[in-house]
Structure 1
Amino acid sequence: MKYVTIVDFTDKYTGDVYYVGDKYPLKGKAKKARLDELASSSNQRKIPLIKEVSEDE
């Protein structure tokens, strides 16, 4: 699965800065729990920060 940033944010664990349209994560792999947190309102900002996209997008 691929994820794309829908709101500018700085990852509190890695310090990486993400802008709208950036892929998430920038490098490596993210754990499912972290993806779920950022894709929902269960994060510090209380809004989804990333969304899942199809492989061909």
Structure 2
Amino acid sequence: MYKVIKDFTDLHDMDYSYHVGNIFPRDGISVTEKRLKELSGNNNKQGTPLIKQVELPDKK
């Protein structure tokens, strides 16, 4: 699971706006491993990580 750490507009998802704390990708959208690397690294238009991988909370 990924969380947004910097606001951005996803140019690959009809300019959908993501805000800090949102889950990425939103429900119903699938993304490639390459896109996840792009957004979680510096190789994107903002030049800074936009999402961060987080662990799923344990469901008991």
Q: What TM-score does the superposition give when structure 1 sets the normalisation length?
A: 0.91
> 1:50: Cα distance to partner?
0.1
2:46: which partner in 1? Answer: 45
Question: Is there any run of 5+ residues in structure 2 with no aligned partner, and where?
Answer: none
> 1:30: Cα distance to partner?
1.2
1:24: which partner in 2? Answer: 24
Larger gyration radius, structure 1 or structure 2:
2
> 1:21: Cα distance to partner?
0.1
Structure 1 CA distance for aligned equivalents of residues 24 and 16 of structure 2: 10
Identity within the alignment, %: 36
Q: What TM-score does the superposition give when structure 2 sets the normalisation length?
A: 0.87
Question: Is there any run of 5+ residues in structure 1 with no aligned partner, and where?
Answer: none
Q: Which runs of 4+ in 1 moved over 2 A?
A: none
Structure 2 CA distance for aligned equivalents of residues 44 and 54 of structure 1: 26
